[in-house]
Amino acid sequence: MNVEQEVIKTLRSVLHLDAAGVSLDADTALLGSIAELDSMAVVSILTALEERFGIVVDDDEVDGRTFATVSSLTRFVQSKLDQ
């Protein structure tokens, strides 16, 4: 499984980015750069990632750095998978 591609699919799905024509890659800035990514969207993304990858994310594990870029979010998910 390509974790980065699955994270991107999750972001596209939850944020409805296909209609907006937003392209995503590892270097894409997220928090503060994508209008659709607000605090409620963060919760929805985390829930979707938990379901997609079978991980559990505690509230105190996530901060703004987690959602800085697609790459930082992918690293976070990979770290949860490696536990």
Segment 32-60, tens digit of pLDDT: 999 899 999 999 999 999 999 999 999 89
Q: Alpha helices of the chain — where are they, by DSSP H? A: 3-15, 17-20, 39-53, 70-81
Q: Domain spans of the chain?
A: 3-81
**What spatial distance separates the first Cα and last Cα of the chain, rounded to whole Å?**
16
pLDDT of residue 59: 87
3-81 has CATH 1.10.1200.10 classification? yes
Q: Which residues contact 66 (CB under 8 A, 6 or more apart)?
A: 72, 73, 76
pLDDT of residue 18: 81
pLDDT at 20 exceeding the cut of 80: no
pLDDT of residue 47: 97
pLDDT of residue 1: 78
Q: Give yes or no for a contact between 83 and 38, defined as CB atoms under 8 angstroms apart.
A: no
- Round to whole Å and give the CA distance between 74 and 27: 11
